Structure 1
Amino acid sequence: MDPTLAAQMSEEVAEKMLQYRRDSSSWKICREGNGVSVSWRPSVEFPGNLYRGEGVVLGTPEEVWECVKPVAGGLRVKWDENVNGFEVIQSITDTLCVSRTSTPSAAMKLISPRDFVDLVLIRKYEDGTISSNATHVEHPLCPPKPGFVRGFNHPCGCFCEPVPGEPGKTNLVTFFQTDLSGYLPKSVVDSFFPRSMAGFYSNLQKAMKQFHD
C-alpha cells in the first residue's frame, strides 16, 4: 500500500475516532454490568451500528495496551476469545501497518470464521492516552482466504486513558463498527456485538489480573 495514501487515510480515521470519543450525545445503552457499559447508535459509514464500550481496567495504560495492542505474536490472541490470529501484512512505519485478523465461529456457529484486513495507526497523546485507529483496506498480499468470510471494519479502535488520581487504573474506551458480511440475520448481529464486547472486557480484566499476579 502506498505510504502517503496510508498516512492520509489513517489520519482521517484517527480524527473520526476522536470525534466519537468526544461526542457524548445520541448513544443508547444496550448492556451494562460489572462496571462496563456498551452503547450504540446508527453508523454513518454503513447500514449497521457503531458500538461504544467503556470500563475501568486494573493496570496502567501501558500495561493495558500491552494486552490489547495489534502486533504479531502479541498477547491479544491468548486472552481474546474473538481473535484467533493476527498477522502484519505490511509494516509502513513503526506506528502504521496493514494487518489481517482472523476470528473463530461465534453465536453457536451461526457466524462462521471471519477475517479482516485493516490499516492500523497507533497514536500516543500528551496526557498518556494510547490509542489504536483502524479501518478496512484491500491489499494485494491478502486476497480472500478459503474457510473465511471477509468482513469489513469501518473506523474503529480503542483509547487506553489514564484515570485522574488513580495511577494503577485505565479507562478503556472501545469503538466497534463492523460489517460481518455474509447473509446474517440482523437479530443475530445485534445481539452478538454487545455480548462479545462485554466478554472482551471481562476476559481482558482476567488477563490483567494474571499480569499483576
Structure 2
Amino acid sequence: MPMEYTEAAQAAAGKLLSYRKDEAGWRLCKRTGDVAVYWRPSTEFTGNVYKGEGLVAAKPEDVWECLKPEPGGLRVKWDSNVEDFQLLETVTDDITICRTVTPSAAMGIISPRDFVDVVMIKRYEDGSITSNATNVEHPSCPPQRHFVRGFNHPCGCTCAPVPGEPEKTQVLSFFQTDLSGYLPKSVVESFFPYSMTQFYNNLSKAVKSLNV
C-alpha cells in the first residue's frame, strides 16, 4: 500500500506542475485586487479545476509556514474552509495521508464534508515549495456519519519566490474537488471562486500577524 500512496502522490505532483506550466484554456471567473481565479473543465472528473493566483507580501518560507498541511498547524486557525486536519499515516518524510474536515458553507446549502488525501511536500530548484494532494482510501478512515465524503482530485498550493522581490511570494492554488452529494451545479460553481478569494485574503492576514 505505501507504494500505491507514493505513486498517487507523485502523479498528483506531476499534474500540478503541468497545471502551472500550461496556460491554455484558463478562463477568468473572479478578480479581486491582486487575486485572480480562473477555471477550465477538469480532465479528472465532471467538474472544473480552479486556479488561483495572488501575491502575498512576505517571504516564501513565512507564507509556507501558514500554508503547510500539518496537524496543529496554522492552517486550521486561519483557513475558514478547514475545520480540522488529522494525520492518518506518515508514508515517507515528505508524504503523508491526511483527513481534512470542512464546515458547512454557502449558507448551509453545502453540509460538512471530509476528505482523505495523500499529500506530498515538494521543493523545486527555483525555490518554490509545493503541497500536492489527491484522494485515496485509508483503512483507518472509512466514510463517517455526519459528513459527506468528498474527493479531491490533484490539487494543492505553490509558494514561489518573486524575482527581485524577496519580501513577496506568488501563491498559486489549484482546487479540483468533487463535493459529492446532491448539490446544484450553480452553487458549486459560485462557491469555489468566492471561497478562493477569501482564502487569499485570510492567508495575507495570517502571514501579516506572523510578522507583527
Give the TM-score of the pair, scaled to structure 1: 0.98
Q: How far does the alpha carbon of each residue in 1:23-48 deviate from its partner, in whole angstroms, 9 at most, with x for none?
A: 11210000001200000000000000
Partner of 1:64: 63
What is the rounded CA distance, in whole Å, between the counterparts of 1:85 and 1:60 in structure 2? Answer: 26
User: Map of 1:57-136 to 2, 5 A cutoff?
Assistant: 57-136=56-135
What is the rounded CA distance, in whole Å, between the counterparts of 1:96 and 1:90 in structure 2? Answer: 9
Aligned CA-pair RMSD: 0.6
Partner of 1:163: 162
- Aligned partner letter, 1:172: V
What is the rounded CA distance, in whole Å, between the counterparts of 2:108 and 2:142 in structure 1? Answer: 24
- Aligned partner letter, 1:65: W
Deviation at residue 3 of structure 1 after TM alignment: 1.7
Q: How far does the alpha carbon of each residue in 1:140-161 deviate from its partner, in whole angstroms, 9 at most, with x for none?
A: 1001111110000000001100
Which has the larger displacement, 7-16 or 197-206?
Answer: 7-16
Percent same amino acid at aligned positions? 60
Runs (4 or more) in structure 1 with deviation over 2 Å come to none
1:210 is paired with a residue whose SS is helix
Partner of 2:33: 34
Partner of 1:54: 53
Partner of 2:208: 209
- Aligned partner letter, 1:105: S
What is the rounded CA distance, in whole Å, between the counterparts of 1:66 and 1:209 in structure 2? Answer: 12
Deviation at residue 8 of structure 1 after TM alignment: 1.5
Unaligned runs of 5+ in 1: none
What is the rounded CA distance, in whole Å, between the counterparts of 1:153 and 1:96 in structure 2? Answer: 16
Unaligned runs of 5+ in 2: none
Q: How far does the alpha carbon of each residue in 1:111-148 deviate from its partner, in whole angstroms, 9 at most, with x for none?
A: 00000000000001111100011000011100111111
What is the rounded CA distance, in whole Å, between the counterparts of 1:52 and 1:192 in structure 2? Answer: 14
Partner of 2:175: 176
Partner of 1:197: 196
What is the rounded CA distance, in whole Å, between the counterparts of 1:9 and 1:105 in structure 2? Answer: 28
2:138 is paired with a residue whose SS is coil
